[in-house]
Amino acid sequence: MLELKDVCFSRDNKQILKNVNLKIDNNKMVVITGPNGSGKSTLAKIIMGIEKPDSGKIIFNGKDITNLSITDRAKTGIGFAFQQPVRFKGLTVKDLIEISAGNNIKVCDACDILADVGLCAQEYLNREVNAGLSGGELKRIEIAMLAAKKSALTIFDEPEAGIDLWSFNNLISVFEKMHEDIKGSIVIISHQERILNIADEIVLIANGRVEKQGKKEEILPQIFGKIKPCHKLNNGEACNKSEED
């Protein structure tokens, strides 16, 4: 279980998170949503250790991880996918999947993981993860890495941003399959209505605070007047609402 206790965070003399209290139980699909600038992405980075809170505590499976590094948090079982995936010059897709899995994964298993995210294993398995890959390809590779890692808690920061229609439709199935296979918790930062609809629970963040948390059946009707979820895809791409929060 993940628990945040009275977490506060400021940047450039602006308070972004204000006494955030949040609990995420094991084996839950949780979507965190809210207006642009509400602190959603910052909250995800705080959980992973990319940003450090000014005050408060972060407890993961009974252990205080507030002061742990990103590497140490990963070792405890937390995985993270960025809005803009990282490129790894000199490493192949297979290398990254093996590193994520923590062992010499079988080629057939690596191929299955790539197929799940809509990539042809024959074409991508031995490709170098460099500037030759598009943002959408990198995003799918990153999701494949996290599927191979099988973390107890996996965080996706706006995974729909910048990907094409086919990839987005497949993305929903990937999340559902990960949730079923890994039996871990998945936290997704998203505006997308279709992603909101696969959640077990929804957390609404507004003005740096947790305003609501509960089952999607309870929360969705309450929040549609406060945010504008993306219903459509524009020009073949998923709604891309990049935010600095």
Give per-residue pLDDT as tens, 149-167: 989 999 999 888 766 666 6
191 phi, psi to nearest 5 deg: -100, -15
Domain 1-77+151-161+173-190+198-245 sits in CATH at 3.40.50.300
pLDDT of residue 181: 85
16 phi, psi to nearest 5 deg: -100, -40
Lowest mean pLDDT among 28-42, 117-131, 182-196, 205-219: 117-131
pLDDT of residue 102: 80
pLDDT mean across residues, the chain: 86
Closest of 161, 151, 127 to residue 230, by C-alpha:
161
pLDDT of residue 237: 47
Show the tokens assigned to 206.
């507004």
pLDDT of residue 79: 93
Top pLDDT among 56 and 144 is at 56
| Average pLDDT of the segment spanning 78-88 | 78
Q: b/e map of 11-49 (b: 16 or more CB within 10 Å)? A: eeeeebbeebebbbeeebbbbbbbbeebbbbbbbbbbbb
Q: Is the pLDDT score of 242 beyond 50?
A: no
pLDDT of residue 222: 80
Q: How far apart are CA 23 and CA 121, in angstroms?
A: 38
Q: What is the bridge-based pairing of β-strands 201-206 and 55-60? A: unpaired
Q: How far apart are CA 242 and CA 245, in angstroms?
A: 9
pTM of the prediction?
0.84
Contact 95, 104 (CB under 8 A): no
Q: Is the pLDDT score of 234 beyond 70?
A: no
Q: Is the pLDDT score of 126 beyond 50?
A: yes
pLDDT of residue 48: 95
pLDDT per residue over 41-80, tens digit each? Answer: 999 999 999 999 999 999 999 999 999 999 999 999 999 9
| Dihedral in degrees, nearest 10, Cα atoms 224, 163, 140, 202 | 0
pLDDT per residue over 196-231, tens digit each? Answer: 999 999 999 999 999 999 999 999 888 776 565 555
Q: How far apart are CA 33 and CA 190, in angstroms?
A: 6
The H or E element spanning position 215 is strand 209-215
Task: Spell out the alpha helix ranges (H) of the chain.
Answer: 40-48, 70-76, 93-101, 107-116, 121-124, 135-149, 165-182, 193-196, 216-223
CA torsion through residues 72, 133, 175, 198, sign:
positive
pLDDT of residue 231: 54
Q: DSSP code of 237?
A: B
- Count Cα atoms within 13 angstroms, Cβ side, for 86: 9
